[in-house]
Structure 1
Amino acid sequence: MDFGFGPADEEFRTRAREWLGAHLVGPYTAAVGLGGPGSEHEGVAGRRAWERELGRGGWIGLGWESGEYGQQRASLTQQVVWAEEYARVRAPGRVGHIGENLLAPTLIAYGTQEQRDRFLPAVARGDELWCQGYSEPGAGSDLAALRTAAVRDGAGWRVTGQKIWTSLAQDADWCFVLARTEPGSKRHHGLSFLLVPMDQPGRVEVRPIRQMSGTSEFNEVFFDGAAATEVVGGEGNGWQVAMGLLALERGVSTLVQQIGFAAELDRVLAAFLAGPGADDPVLRDRLVRQWAELKTMRWNALRTLGGSGDEGAPSVAKLLWGGWHKRLGELAVAVRGAAGAVGPYDWSAERPYELDEEQRLFLFTRADTIYGGSDEIQRNIIAERVLGLPREPKEAAR
């Protein structure tokens, strides 16, 4: 596969760069650099206004099948170009990425035309934000163990249960929820993919989860008879839809994610060169290895998106970036020596001791090999579905 960009891509790059230069100004500059991994709680109001500015420019939904919802058309390589230019100017972290990159492609693949016409224009305008209701206490990596249930209520359903680790739930307008709609069903059977409005006082409650990094972008969400009128892919077909969405999550978005990783690596490298261990050959070797692995991940992602992947490609990608990002977090502290354990403080402040950006990176990346499907789960998928190895005994016994 040719990993370069053609003339049309470079023309698109110029257009994207000019638009960002002309529009990322005024009130939007306050949100520049905010909202990265581990900091999704920062500047939400400004980032939400920026989301609508992106919508007015037609920059939301570049990867959708058509431009019928007001967005621009862009090839796969042009989507990468846009992400590169977006990262280059440190544009605000996207608050609408779950709706754009997960919900919308899922509706295009599995939804009805009425559902696409109802929800996609609002996502493309930046007007409605989404969150994902998958994981539960006791049903994280083993998602099929979920217990959230939905019962029929006229033309819709009433959803009752708890979801956890729900990103941006405190700001979302809608949540797509995987729930058990067939009483007595087990594991992958009897599940449905429901669309639930979040503004249901007394029916939907969001509780932020304070993490060891000091931030609270993840939440618990409690549903107590919450109304849902839309099911995607048909009742009982939720597992198929949910797995299709996870494949999308580890597709184009993985490549875009790596652009942010590159910026983080640049920061760590700068800290290394300015720090006490700049002549340390072990640290130098670790940084070179991080750089080489990031290049390899990029080529692997492009190969996969170019149609050269297999059923295990999403799991391979998750294994690669999860471990890589965790090691980068460790390096972010290590290159600063003893000072990496001490952060800025202001004894006059309400919270005098705050973590700096690199310390938050270290703490946040502890979870990278767990959330979104743990490393153990990904290795099982590769072993069973790609290599054809026997299932684990506990799986065979079920």
Structure 2
Amino acid sequence: MDFQPDPGLDAFRKEVRAFLRESLPADLAGKPVGSVRSVRADLVRWQRILNERGWGAPYWPKQHEGTGWSVMQRLVFDEECVAAGAPTQDGFAHKLFGPVLNEFGSPEQQALHRPLILSGERLWCQGFSEPGSGSDLASLSTRAERDGDHYIVNGQKIWTSYAHESDWIFLLVRTNADAKKQAGISFLLVDMATPGITVRPIRSIDDCHHLNETFFDNVRVPVANRIGEEGEGWKITKFLLNNEHATAADLPILRRFLAQIRSLARSEHSGGGLLIEQPEFAQKLARFEAEVSAIATMVTRVAAMEEDHSPAAHAMGSILKVRGTELQQRLSEFIVEALGDYGAVAYPEPHDPALGEPLPHQHAGRGKANEMFFRRASTIYGGTSEVQRGIIAKMLFQL
């Protein structure tokens, strides 16, 4: 891996920054995101701006109407968008379902869904986890029984992020109860407006509503909405989960946390002086700076592996997932600690408008405890740390 600065990448970063300065509306910049997705109106508006620039699908190849950017360019784009406070894109559509659609979808399916993802008119959610099937995803029990040119779907999904705001869901179902559990799974696309779908909110520990239970009661889904052949759902899911190893650590989020800590260090007081003047605080911040720098170096290494299609990228991505998510938790805790007593104030939820007079220190403290509580789940979603350590042991040490 070459650690020398890449002039081409530096020029690209300047291009992204110039675009953000010119095209990111002031009333969209810097809004609290809460968990992982901006509110729908902001997300859709930003998606349309990106699409007009030709950057509507930054993670897709050119032949599928994407930008065709390298892994490092995608990382730079994500980092600069986070630093500028831009709204998110629909990660479920662009990073998870989109590559599946491009790789396994029929021409008809691509023509139906791709334009609406690019325009922001169709948002997606993921129907994988079930009450009894989390880390052991292959044990899922939601079933789809063939009835002519339709499937009849019955079952329940849980932790369905943004199901209440999404138009469609990509869904794993069991189409063959007699086959080996991995072989009996299929991958369906379902319109969330279909009769028989019920979405119930789960108010999580971060005091936000982004999680849901989703129930399917005799939901009729056209067979034409199946991606791939019947029974290929597990193969497609492995492809989906193996994408973008270099992004597993969420490096832009780690750098955003560091920026917030630096800001608090220069504005908050403790013991008669600024936080940054307290040796213990400064030492802890310096250690976090070093850890994030180490993650950044590893991200660059994994990105190079992905560009070379190295099989080791998968195991290294699992290492990034473990280290990065654990660091997210510690950094978010440190932010709340830096706020002192104000870290315990129940400020309005990040997506809710502030009512009446703002609470003391609301400009600095709003959303920080919510983020800390949300990040308690970061070592669970996307594959638990225990599962990731199993992958590392198997792939690197043949255990």
The TM-score range, normalised by the shorter chain, is 0.7 to 0.9
1:377 deviates by 1.7
Which string of whole-angstrom CA distances, capped at 9 and with x for unpartnered residues, describes residues 175-214 of structure 1? 11111110234532311111111111x3212222111221
Query: 1:392: which partner in 2?
Result: none
Using the alignment, how far apart are the partners of 2:49 and 2:114 within structure 1?
Answer: 16
The residue correspondences of 1:286-297 to structure 2 (distance < 5 A) are 286-297=284-295
Using the alignment, how far apart are the partners of 2:110 and 2:380 within structure 1?
Answer: 32
1:90 deviates by 0.9
Using the alignment, how far apart are the partners of 1:152 and 1:283 within structure 2?
Answer: 61
Using the alignment, how far apart are the partners of 1:341 and 1:245 within structure 2?
Answer: 39
1:321 aligns with 2:317: no
1:35 deviates by 5.6
1:207 aligns with 2:186: no
Q: Output the aligned Cα RMSD.
A: 2.8
1:232 deviates by 2.0
The residue correspondences of 1:123-162 to structure 2 (distance < 5 A) are 123-162=117-156
Give 1:198's match in structure 2, choosing from 173, 185, 192: 192
Using the alignment, how far apart are the partners of 1:311 and 1:219 within structure 2?
Answer: 30
- Residues 204 and 222, structure 1, Cα contact 8 Å, conserved in 2: yes
Query: 1:262: which partner in 2?
Result: 255
Using the alignment, how far apart are the partners of 2:110 and 2:245 within structure 1?
Answer: 21
Range with greater deviation from structure 2 (367-376 or 267-276): 267-276
- Residues 75 and 247, structure 2, Cα contact 8 Å, conserved in 1: no
Query: 2:351: which partner in 1?
Result: none
Using the alignment, how far apart are the partners of 1:158 and 1:149 within structure 2?
Answer: 8
Query: 2:70: which partner in 1?
Result: 75
Change (3 A) 1:311 1:352: closer
Change (3 A) 1:116 1:363: same
Query: 2:13: which partner in 1?
Result: 13
Please give the secondary structure, in 1, of the residue aligned with 2:177: coil
Change (3 A) 1:76 1:370: closer
Change (3 A) 1:311 1:78: closer
Query: 1:393: which partner in 2?
Result: none
Query: 1:246: which partner in 2?
Result: 241
Change (3 A) 1:343 1:171: closer
1:171 aligns with 2:181: no
1:301 aligns with 2:299: yes
1:162 deviates by 1.1
Using the alignment, how far apart are the partners of 1:15 and 1:349 within structure 2?
Answer: 41
1:272 aligns with 2:261: no
The residue correspondences of 1:83-102 to structure 2 (distance < 5 A) are 83-94=78-89, 96-102=90-96
Using the alignment, how far apart are the partners of 1:302 and 1:348 within structure 2?
Answer: 44
- Residues 183 and 231, structure 2, Cα contact 8 Å, conserved in 1: yes
- Residues 206 and 221, structure 1, Cα contact 8 Å, conserved in 2: yes
Structure 1 stretches of 5 or more lacking a match? 390-398
Please give the secondary structure, in 2, of the residue aligned with 1:92: coil
1:366 aligns with 2:376: yes
The letter for the 1-side match of 2:77 is W
1:348 deviates by 8.2
Give 1:218's match in structure 2, choosing from 208, 211, 217: 211
Using the alignment, how far apart are the partners of 1:188 and 1:282 within structure 2?
Answer: 51
The letter for the 1-side match of 2:236 is V
Segments ≥4 residues shifted beyond 6 Å = 347-355
In the superposition, the TM-score normalised over structure 2's length comes to 0.85
Using the alignment, how far apart are the partners of 2:77 and 2:112 within structure 1?
Answer: 26
Change (3 A) 1:275 1:218: farther
Change (3 A) 1:268 1:313: same
Query: 1:312: which partner in 2?
Result: 315
The letter for the 2-side match of 1:340 is G
- Residues 275 and 336, structure 1, Cα contact 8 Å, conserved in 2: no
Using the alignment, how far apart are the partners of 2:253 and 2:279 within structure 1?
Answer: 26
- Residues 197 and 227, structure 1, Cα contact 8 Å, conserved in 2: no
The letter for the 1-side match of 2:261 is V
Which string of whole-angstrom CA distances, capped at 9 and with x for unpartnered residues, describes residues 130-174 of structure 1? 111111112112212211111112223222111111122112111
1:31 deviates by 2.9
- Residues 192 and 234, structure 1, Cα contact 8 Å, conserved in 2: yes
Change (3 A) 1:109 1:313: farther
Please give the secondary structure, in 2, of the residue aligned with 1:224: strand
